[in-house]
Structure 1
Amino acid sequence: MLRSILVTAGLLACALCLTSWSIETDRSTEYKHGLLEIREEARHFIERENAKGQQQWKVLEPNAKVLVPPCAVPLRTQWTPKSLGRSKPSVTVICAAAVPNAVMSDWDVAVPVQQKSN
């Protein structure tokens, strides 16, 4: 009985934490690069693409499960190559050199986009 009460309380606490999380509060720290900043880089790229006047795009949210170390150099962006097998268009945000850590030396995050409806 006590075990089921503790499990229920733990699940409720986890649910409350997840509902309070927002990409708007996921900023960079000394240990991780924030999804907010990654999304903003994708937005800047899409603004430049939209200014070309062909198709109009909007940036969606990056996967909330992504956790990457801080980037030591300015981020780059590009359209995600179709050869990577993604089914929908996305922008790749690229870090060519992460802050030294034990996990990865560089990284890239695909941020989904969709066409704006007229």
Structure 2
Amino acid sequence: MSEKCSDYDFIAQVAKALAHPTRLFILELVARERICVQDIVDKTPYDQSTISKHLSILSSIGIVSYEKEGQKIYYSIKHPCIMNFFTCARVFLDEETSSKQNMLNYCLR
């Protein structure tokens, strides 16, 4: 059982790393292309230190990896399968939104 608990602990850590809208946005950018911190900063309202902090969290859990080239650090997705989470979450959102809208429409009749 302890081995299973550690699996769940790790999955919970991954979920915690993904549990921030800014990190989700960053992850989508990184999944599209290898990208440097400044390019991410340019696409968000946040400063470099904030973006770097979020990238550090994603990197520490192993979701993204990085390479330093000169003064720039480039990030890329380490395990593209993590993007399946986005697909699942969007399907869930669409279905729940549709279900709630249908229920509301039924109640309003």
Same fold (TM over 0.5): no
Task: Give TM-score, length-normalised by structure 1.
Answer: 0.27
Task: Give TM-score, length-normalised by structure 2.
Answer: 0.29
> When you count helix as a share of all residues, which structure comes out higher?
2
